[in-house]
Amino acid sequence: MGKRVTTIPATLNLYDSVSLKNPQKRKVAGYARVSKDIEEQATSYAAQVDYYTAYIKKNPEWEFAGIYTDEGITATTTKKRNGFKQMIADALAGKIDLIITKSVSRFARNTVDSLTTVRELKENGIEIYFEKENIWTFDSKGELLITIMSSLAQEESRSISENVKWGKRRAFANGKGSLSFNTFLGYDRGPNGEFVINEEQAATVRYIYEKFLEGFSAYRIAKDLTEMGIKTPGGKEKWANSSVLKILKNEKYKGDLLFQKTYIKDFLSHKSVRNNGEIPQYYIEDHHEGIITAEQFDQVQLELYRRKKIKKYSGISIFSSILKCGNCGGWYGSKVWNSNTKYKKTIYQCNKKYKNRCKTPNLSEYEIKQLFVQVVNQLISEKEEIIKNTEEMKKLFVI
C-alpha cells in the first residue's frame, strides 16, 4: 500500500519570519559611497543618493528607510565609515529590512569585513542587494558570489595601493613629495606646494629651540607654551612634551627633508608604522629655507643625546644635570636653604648624599658661578692652544 504525503506550505519567510499571506512592506535603505574626494566622484556620489532615493520610493512594496552615505573615505576597512556603521546599527535595531547598494566594491573591498557583515545581517533577517552584480544575499548562491566579488575587489585595492606607493617613491627619489601643512608648525603651502615660512608660527619654533639649548626641559617648554596661550601644531590649547620633542627632532626646521619616516605596512588596515629600514628613505639637503640654522639643529641633537643618557634630566636651573659628583657619580641638584628668610641661599649637593653616604661638600650657586668664570677665562687665554690640540686629536680618529 503506497504512502500518502501531504505538503504543508510555508506561511513565514525563511529569513525574516514575515507572514507570506499578509506580507508587510519592507523597510529599505540605500548606501552610497565614493572613495576619493574629487570632483568627478563627488558628482557620482550625489547621483547615487538621488538615484536610490527615487528607486526605493517608487516601489509600492517598499517603505523608504533613508540613505546612508560615506564621502571621501577609502573602502578597504569599515572602521572609519561612520555612515556604514550607523546603517548596520539601525538594521540590527529593526529599522531596516533591506539594504540596496551599487556594488560589492562600494560595500567593502575587504573580503573578511564583507562576509562578516553579510552573515551578521542575514542571521538577523536583513538582506542586501548588490545592483551591479545582481546579487541578493538571501539567494542560495549569494554568499559564494559575494566571496568571489569581494576577493576581486580586495585584489584591485591591493593593486591600486601598490601603484600609488610606487608613484610616491619615484617622486621621493626625484626630490618631490607632499606635506600636511595644516598640522605642521612654521610653514604654509606656497602656490606650487613649496614651503613658505609663517613668521608668526616660526617665532614659536625658534623659542622652543632657544629655550631647549638654554637648559629647559621639553616638559617645561610645553608648560610655558600652554600658559602663553600658543596653540599646538594640531590647534589644541595644551602642549605635551612629546609635541615639543617632535619639533626639536624634525630636520625640516633646518631646511632639509627626509621622506618615508613611516609607511603603511598593510593596505587593509592602513596602519602607519615607523620605518626602521624596511623600505628606502630619501634625504634632501637644502630643500627649502630653514627656520633655524643647521648649527642650532645639530646642537639640539647632541643635547638630546646627552640628556637621554641621564636617567632623570632636570632643567630647573642652569647647572642642573651638568654637575656630577666625583665620589659616587651622582648628579648634583639645587636646594634652597632658609627660603622664607633674608638668609635664603641656593646650594648644590649630591643627590645621592644620604643614600650612598656621599661625603662630597655642598657648593653654593655663587661658588659654582665663580669657578665657571675662572674656567672660561682660562679657555679664552689658552684658546689657540686648545683649538690646535683639538684639531690634532680629530686627525687621530679619522678613518
What's 265's domain CATH number?
3.90.1750.20
Q: Looking at residues 35-45, what average pLDDT do you find?
A: 53
Q: Which of 261, 286, 308 is the last residue of a domain?
A: 308
Question: pLDDT at position 221, please?
Answer: 93
Establish if 11 belongs to a structural domain. no
Question: pLDDT at position 90, please?
Answer: 95
Q: Looking at residues 257-275, what average pLDDT do you find?
A: 64
* 304 plus 345 within the same structural domain: no
> What is the per-residue pLDDT across 45-57, written as a single tens digit (0 to 9) for each?
778 888 889 999 9
* 203 plus 250 within the same structural domain: yes
For the chain, the domain total comes to: 3
CA distance 380 to 3: 119
Output the average pLDDT for the chain: 77
Establish if 19 belongs to a structural domain. no
Establish if 275 belongs to a structural domain. yes
Question: pLDDT at position 281, please?
Answer: 73
Establish if 16 belongs to a structural domain. no
Is 397's pLDDT higher than 80? no
Q: Which of 308, 328, 348 is the last residue of a domain?
A: 308
Higher pLDDT, 102 or 226: 226
* 99 plus 198 within the same structural domain: no
* 235 plus 338 within the same structural domain: no
> What is the per-residue pLDDT across 151-209, written as a single tens digit (0 to 9) for each?
665 566 566 556 555 555 565 556 565 667 778 899 988 888 788 999 999 999 999 99
Cell 634625504 locates to 283
CA distance 217 to 242: 11
Question: pLDDT at position 100, please?
Answer: 93
* 291 plus 334 within the same structural domain: no
Q: Which burial class, exposed, middle or buried, applies to 382 when counting CB atoms under 10 A from its CB (0-12, 13-18, 19+)?
A: exposed
Establish if 127 belongs to a structural domain. yes
Q: Which burial class, exposed, middle or buried, applies to 248 when counting CB atoms under 10 A from its CB (0-12, 13-18, 19+)?
A: buried
* 140 plus 40 within the same structural domain: yes
* 301 plus 360 within the same structural domain: no
Is 327's pLDDT higher than 80? no
Instruction: Please report, rounded to a whole number, the percentage of residues in the chain having pLDDT higher than 90.
Output: 22
Question: pLDDT at position 313, please?
Answer: 61
| Domain hosting residue 253, numbered range | 181-308
The CB density around residue 318, as the number of other CB atoms within 10 Å, is: 13
359 grid coordinates = 661625603
* 211 plus 247 within the same structural domain: yes
Q: 347 near 338, Cβ under 8 Å?
A: no
Of the candidate ranges 11-25, 235-249, 324-338, the one whose mean pLDDT is the lowest: 11-25
According to DSSP, the β-strands at 26-34 and 98-101 are parallel
Question: pLDDT at position 391, please?
Answer: 80
Is 265's pLDDT higher than 90? no
Cell 500518502 locates to 4
CA distance 147 to 286: 51
Q: Which of 141, 122, 123 is nearest to 133 (CA)?
A: 141
3-state helix, strand, coil in the chain (%, to 5): 40, 15, 40
108 grid coordinates = 567593502
Establish if 54 belongs to a structural domain. yes
* 316 plus 301 within the same structural domain: no
Q: Which of 317, 315, 376 is nearest to 347 (CA)?
A: 317
Question: pLDDT at position 112, please?
Answer: 62
Establish if 143 belongs to a structural domain. yes
DSSP letters, 280-311, are --EEETT-S--SS-HHHHHHHHHHHHHHHHSS
Is 308's pLDDT higher than 50? yes
Q: 124 near 92, Cβ under 8 Å?
A: yes
Phi and psi, residue 239, nearest 5° = -90, 145
Buried b (16+ CB within 10 A) or exposed e, 253-272: bbbbbbbbeebeeebbeeee
Establish if 234 belongs to a structural domain. yes
CA distance 175 to 192: 14
Is 343's pLDDT higher than 60? yes
41: CATH: 3.40.50.1390
* 34 plus 121 within the same structural domain: yes
Is 76's pLDDT higher than 50? no
Q: Identify the sign of the CA torsion 220, 226, 227, 230.
A: positive
* 204 plus 236 within the same structural domain: yes
